[in-house]
Structure 1
Amino acid sequence: MTLSPIRKVFQGTADRRQMFRMFDRHAQRPNRSPDDGALYRGEWFEIGEAEHDTMLDILPPLWMRSDMFAMREFLTGSVTSVFFKLKIDDCVRYFHGYCDLSDRASPGCMRAAIVERESRPVRAMTREERLEHIWSSAHDDYRGYAGERFSKHLWGKRTVLFYDYQRGTVLKLLDQLTDTEILAKLPVHLRYLPDAIAA
């Protein structure tokens, strides 16, 4: 399973509980390895000011700049949490992202991507953002990774449980959900947002 480019993984502002759940969205992945940085690298989501300040107070940061700081503890390899305090459209907002610090430009690229994405005039979501939100908000019991039920070439791909009116509860590959199934899995307030063109 390879992800990597910079991507928004949750719509709205994550509260404390949601933030901690999303710190390791891939905890159930098979064959965990210190080289799993591509799963996390580039993920970002919005948090509140209190959550941002809590994380700043936990440990002294690895480094700190005017609008961001990096956590001292690395998640995997050279990937760690970077927290942002950004002014977007005259409003101060807070974000968490996973940056690969082996690339010195990674935090700056993450900041630029967040500002670009959140500065769009129309609230919209790409198909990928819809799928990431479904994955982020699904309980661990309802999401997982393809195994022996699937063809071997699909092993390790993300799966979610889906209720089908004709077949009952079925396990489906996340990236193979139809548009109708995606709408059914999203919360009501996100279902009818227009499609955004991926940047």
Structure 2
Amino acid sequence: MSTPSAIRKVYQGIAERHQMFRMLDRYAQRPHRFEGDASALYAGEWFKITESEHDYMFEILPPLWIRGSMFAIREFLTGSVTSVFFALRIDGVIRHFHGYCDLSDRGSVEDMRLAIIELETRPVRAMTPDERLEHTWSATADAYRAYSDETAAQYLHGQRVIALFSNAGSSRLKLLYDLTDGEITAKLPVQLRHLARAAVAA
């Protein structure tokens, strides 16, 4: 299983410590986790964190490097991909972010920094369809998300699936990319539901 490694926001809102650690390996349940190079799966993902989590990660291990308002974690996640933490002044306020950068690409860190600033300074906050799907995956507890097997509808091996519940309390698995707009919106926090509609209308 692989996906393009374009720069992408994978969680809306600010991830505090518990959610941050969940986000650091959003694919922990994937089949054959320790086989092959998963660099493309992680590289380019980013999300917002608190100042406290940023400082905690700075102190937990000596950084691989520090460049101005950015630092990289010494331990690589996979291949040449590692965590980079950013403290960026946006609209006059210092905001904090985590991103996975592939350090074999010399421009990856700067590209991510610029992409974060560009998205976070947009005058209209709107979620793209992909951002809505990635937030849904990120915000769903491990017990209610998985990877498809023969029991999943429209079986495609290794694809991400989400558990959906009926009014009667029964559940079924559905491929993440087959979720309807209504099913996605129902899983978004109330404050993000308007953003989901704005993205569709854009």
TM range (shorter): over 0.9
Deviations 1:16-57 (A, max 9, x none): 111011101100000112501111111100001111011000
Q: Which runs of 5+ in 2 are unaligned?
A: none
**Retained in 2: the 8 A contact 1:34–1:77?**
no
**Retained in 2: the 8 A contact 1:143–1:158?**
yes
Q: Which runs of 5+ in 1 are unaligned?
A: none
Q: Which whole-Å CA distance do the structure 2 matches of 1:196 and 1:183 have between them?
A: 12
Structure 1 residue 151: Cα displacement: 7.8
**Retained in 2: the 8 A contact 1:127–1:195?**
no
Q: What's the secondary structure of 1:129's corresponding residue?
A: helix
Q: Which whole-Å CA distance do the structure 1 matches of 2:31 and 2:101 have between them?
A: 22
Q: Which whole-Å CA distance do the structure 2 matches of 1:15 and 1:170 have between them?
A: 30
**Which of 116, 119, 134 is residue 118 of structure 2 equivalent to?**
116
**Retained in 2: the 8 A contact 1:37–1:79?**
yes
Q: Which residue number in structure 2 is paired with residue 82 of structure 1?
A: 84
Structure 1 residue 185: Cα displacement: 1.2
Deviations 1:124-181 (A, max 9, x none): 1111111111111111110011112248971111111012347931100011100011
TM-score (norm 1): 0.93
Q: Which whole-Å CA distance do the structure 1 matches of 2:79 and 2:198 have between them?
A: 35
Structure 2 letter corresponding to 1:29? R
Matched, 1:160 2:158: no
- Kindly indicate which of the two structures has a greater share of residues assigned to strand: 1
Q: What's the secondary structure of 1:25's corresponding residue?
A: coil
Q: Which residue number in structure 2 is paired with residue 15 of structure 1?
A: 16
TM-score (norm 2): 0.92
Return 160-169 or 140-149, whichever deviates more. 160-169
**Retained in 2: the 8 A contact 1:34–1:76?**
no
Q: Which whole-Å CA distance do the structure 1 matches of 2:199 and 2:63 have between them?
A: 35
Q: Which whole-Å CA distance do the structure 2 matches of 1:116 and 1:172 have between them?
A: 33
Q: Which whole-Å CA distance do the structure 2 matches of 1:7 and 1:141 have between them?
A: 25
Q: What's the secondary structure of 1:76's corresponding residue?
A: coil
**Retained in 1: the 8 A contact 2:152–2:174?**
no
Structure 2 letter corresponding to 1:113? A
Q: Which residue number in structure 2 is paired with residue 142 of structure 1?
A: 144
Structure 2 letter corresponding to 1:2? S
Query: Closer, same or farther in 2 for the Cα pair 1:139/1:192, shift >3 Å?
Result: same
Matched, 1:196 2:189: no
Q: Which whole-Å CA distance do the structure 2 matches of 1:158 and 1:185 have between them?
A: 16
Q: Which residue number in structure 1 is paired with residue 94 of structure 2?
A: 92
Q: What's the secondary structure of 1:184's corresponding residue?
A: helix
Structure 1 residue ranges (4+ consecutive) displaced by more than 4 angstroms after TM superposition: 150-153
Q: Which residue number in structure 2 is paired with residue 127 of structure 1?
A: 129
Q: What's the secondary structure of 2:76's corresponding residue?
A: strand
Q: Which whole-Å CA distance do the structure 2 matches of 1:123 and 1:180 have between them?
A: 20
- Over the matched positions of the two proteins, sequence identity in percent amounts to 61
Q: Which residue number in structure 2 is paired with residue 2 of structure 1?
A: 2
